[in-house]
Amino acid sequence: MVDVGTLIWLSFRPLIKLVLCVGSGFVITKADIFPAIAARGAGQVALNITGPCLMFSKILPAFSTKNIHVLAPLFAIAAIYQTMGMVMALFVKQLFWVPHRFRYGIIAAGGWGNCGDLPTAVVMSLAANSPFKGQEDQDLSVAYISALILFYTFTFFPLGGHNLVKKDFEGPDVEPEEVQSALRQRQTRLIRSFRGIWPCSSAIGADTEKAHAEGSGEEKSAENDAAMAQRQDDSEEPRVHWNEASCPGTPVERPSTRRHVSFFEDGSTAVPTEGPTRPPSIDGEEGSPDLALSHLHKMKVDRQLLSPPPRRSKGLVAWDIVKAFLKSICMPLSLAIIISFPIALITPLKALFLPVAGFNMHPAPDGEPPLAVIYDFAQFMGGASVPLNLVCLGSALARLNVPRSQWSSLPLGAIMSLAVGRMVIMPILGVLICEGLISLDFISKEDRVLQFICIFFSCLPTQTTQVYITQVYSGTGSAEHLSAFLIPQYIIMFLSMTVLSAYALQLIF
């Protein structure tokens, strides 16, 4: 039994190394020594060279036919945590207002945690020391993490999780006031349905509904005043629109609005229709049948120009999905993990890289396996993966910027709820779930590394990969909404990870 002070130190020590690495990237970025183009280059090196080498060098010695069954609990835990995070994000979205350009991104932020550099750095440091078994448990821990990385990468790219971020930037923008108004209406409907189920709550519901009604009344009064002023401004030149259902040449007056948007079936929008539209008069020469027919023909041509583009065939859409799937599978990191597992499980292939007990492989002139030099290269390059990733993480955090002028307009309720949900509530639920699965022996009672990994992965902040994806899909290179949601999570992370690691070590050992 390890005493409490030792547990706290063992849990906090890896985070000190993590903070120093992340802080290095943060400082050199703020000092303009590590520009954005250099950070992107370092990120590409980590993603396409050092990361795959690390996965290959750890999976090969760690996995065999004797322990491949651990993939089932690892994938199950990953699916449980991902579902929990997405459901939690949906609850946050229902209870608090979320910016329109982050309405789907918050679901991605809840479902996909930082499963790469952070857990690898912390768990490698922990597993290298007592009470773990040193290098053996260190290799095993990274191999287990690689399976979880494969799951999260597979669901985010090939299976289309990144499309949640893409959907945020489809369609016209919506002002925060309109989003908040829609949220209040939705909450009112929920309160009414709640009162229908539990009549005893009618008094609370009535008070809340009354408050919403008073707020709505003030908003409607302001809107009526604005509309009155607008009608006075436009009284000298009223707008007249054609009613297509009426006979040609019959104008129908409608109240003027500042912006008119038409929605097609595919979600595209027409341009705002500003300025007066004057139909031909039915008196005099302007009302001649030829001119009326000409005007109707022009309207028909305009509608054809504004009509949505023809839909692509299902075959082409399916082919695009298949291409995107194959492209994601062929990413170097995913490919390295996928290739490493068969080599680790097939003894003749594994013996080409590593000595295998009970199997005789003709050695190279130096007495090592024939392809041992490739394994040595992977080990050497993989050693740079974690520090490089952490430096890039610090650089990314340094570039997250939330202007002070926008602090008052931030969705603080949603920001703090998601941070507390991911970094406090999910670890508590994760411990309970893992204890239940351990008692059922679904998670092996003998494999302490597996138990620790399953518990630790419940306490991960949102992945920084979403920042890069958001910058790509936004069209402006910005990710201001996501920045506000990330910063509190990474602040809470240091305390919650320390507490969770200490409790997990006490529980396991």
- Residue 271 belongs to a domain: no
- Residue 46 belongs to a domain: yes
Between CA 59 and CA 24 the distance in angstroms is 29
Model confidence at 308: pLDDT above 80: no
Confidence of residue 352 (pLDDT cuts 50, 70, 90): very high
Provide mean pLDDT across the span 296-303. Answer: 50
Q: List the domain range (segments joined by +) for residue 126.
A: 4-174+332-508
Per-residue pLDDT reduced to its tens digit, 69-111: 999 999 999 999 999 999 999 999 999 999 999 999 999 999 9
- Residue 90 belongs to a domain: yes
Instruction: Quickly list H helices, 248-384.
Output: 289-306, 314-329, 332-345, 347-350, 372-382
Sequence-separated (6 or more) residues with CB below 8 Å from residue 401: 480, 483
What is the phi/psi pair of residue 58, to 5°? Answer: -95, -35
> What is the pLDDT, as a whole number, of residue 271?
40
Region of 135 on the Ramachandran plot (φ > 0 left; ψ -120 to 50 alpha; else beta): alpha
- Residue 258 belongs to a domain: no
Q: Identify the residue with better confidence: 456 or 405.
A: 456
> What is the pLDDT, as a whole number, of residue 121?
93
Q: Identify the residue with better confidence: 316 or 275.
A: 316
Most confident of 132-146, 204-218, 237-251: 132-146
Between CA 423 and CA 435 the distance in angstroms is 19
Q: Are 113 and 463 in contact (CB under 8 A)?
A: yes
Confidence of residue 155 (pLDDT cuts 50, 70, 90): very high
* Residue 263 DSSP one-character state: B
% of residues, the chain, pLDDT over 90: 52
> What is the pLDDT, as a whole number, of residue 303?
52
Per-residue pLDDT reduced to its tens digit, 378-432: 999 999 999 999 999 999 889 887 777 777 788 999 999 999 999 999 999 999 9
Among all chains, which residue has been given the structure tokens 């509309």?
A: 227
- Residue 11 belongs to a domain: yes
What is the phi/psi pair of residue 236, to 5°? Answer: -70, -25
- Residue 251 belongs to a domain: no
- Residue 214 belongs to a domain: no
What residues pair up with 113 in beta bridges, in sequence order? 462
pTM, two decimal places? 0.74
Where residue 465 sits, what CATH number does that domain have? Answer: 1.20.1530
What is the count of structural domains for the chain? 1
Cα angle 484, 480, 398 (rounded to 5 degrees) comes to 70
% of residues, the chain, pLDDT over 70: 76
* Residue 425 DSSP one-character state: I
- Residue 435 belongs to a domain: yes
> What is the pLDDT, as a whole number, of residue 179?
86
